[in-house]
Amino acid sequence: MQFEPGDQRRRLPRHLQAPPPEPDSFSYVIRPARVGDLPDVRGIYNHYVANSVVTFDEKASTHRYWREKFALLTKLKLPFLVAVTPSNAVIGYALVQPWASKSAYRYTVEDSIYLGPGAGGKGLGTVLLRALIEACEQIGLREVVAVISDSGAEASVRLHERAGFVEVGRMGRVGFKFGRSLGTIYLQRTLKPQRRRR
Ligand SMILES: CC(C)(COP(=O)(O)OP(=O)(O)OC[C@H]1O[C@@H](n2cnc3c(N)ncnc32)[C@H](O)[C@@H]1OP(=O)(O)O)[C@@H](O)C(=O)NCCC(=O)NCCS
């Protein structure tokens, strides 16, 4: 088969095609999430739902789920941050949600951090988690808990430990996904609240 320059009809098989050019640099800004970011956020999360055991969700999250979560976090004034490229594509997000609903837990939150495919391993997780912790301290939160799968989430464990989280416990066989049992690792970090929170 002959390929002529500019021939749009015939394409080389994927493994013979030249890789897409690398962006000149890995540049992004961190800012609070907006409603318009939610489709990208949902896409990032659903990638891990479908392809990994780092989340115990098994069904793709819906637009409605993310709209409701955004509304709840906005109402509770809890941080929900995104990392966006200069073209405003979301390449990662980090948020906290209430650890438990009973009122005595009000100073404690659970964090959640996910990067898009290709954005991992370059320090973005560290930057996002640091920004999330600072945002939590600014609003007077006192403790953050991370619940991490005991399988396939080594990067998350390392990320949290490097950010000052300490392992406080494990549970075995509490999850079951892709035909196998999974446990959870609990890590906790004490914050330095910058103001009083009711
Ligand atoms: C977890 C995650 C947010 C980490 O972000 P990241 O940008 O890749 O992490 P960083 O580059 O800032 O690296 C943080 C630490 O983790 C280590 N790390 C990164 N990828 C790793 C991997 N695949 N395996 C083991 N350690 C890894 C880094 O070496 C670094 O440790 P060091 O400072 O001692 O070298 C990201 O990998 C991700 O989105 N993973 C999938 C989703 C997920 O697991 N979310 C958490 C659910 S609880």
**Could you give the domains of the chain?**
26-190 (3.40.630.30)
CA distance readout (Å), 92 to 66, 88, 98, 162, 173:
15, 12, 21, 19, 29
Q: Is 6 in the pocket of ligand 1 (CB under 6 A)?
A: no
Q: Is 156 in the pocket of ligand 1 (CB under 6 A)?
A: yes
* pLDDT tens by residue, 100-148: 999 999 999 999 999 999 999 999 999 999 999 999 999 999 999 999 9
Q: Is 49 in the pocket of ligand 1 (CB under 6 A)?
A: no
Q: How far is the CA of 24 from the centre of ligand 1 (A)?
A: 22
* pLDDT tens by residue, 140-194: 999 999 999 999 999 999 999 999 999 999 999 999 999 999 999 999 999 999 9
Q: How far is the CA of 161 from the centre of ligand 1 (A)?
A: 10
Residue 193: CB partners within 8 Å, gap ≥ 6?
Answer: 107, 137, 140, 141, 142
Q: Is 179 in the pocket of ligand 1 (CB under 6 A)?
A: no
Q: Is 148 in the pocket of ligand 1 (CB under 6 A)?
A: yes
Which stretch of DSSP H or E encloses residue 48? Answer: helix 38-51
Across the chain, what does the average pLDDT equal?
A: 92
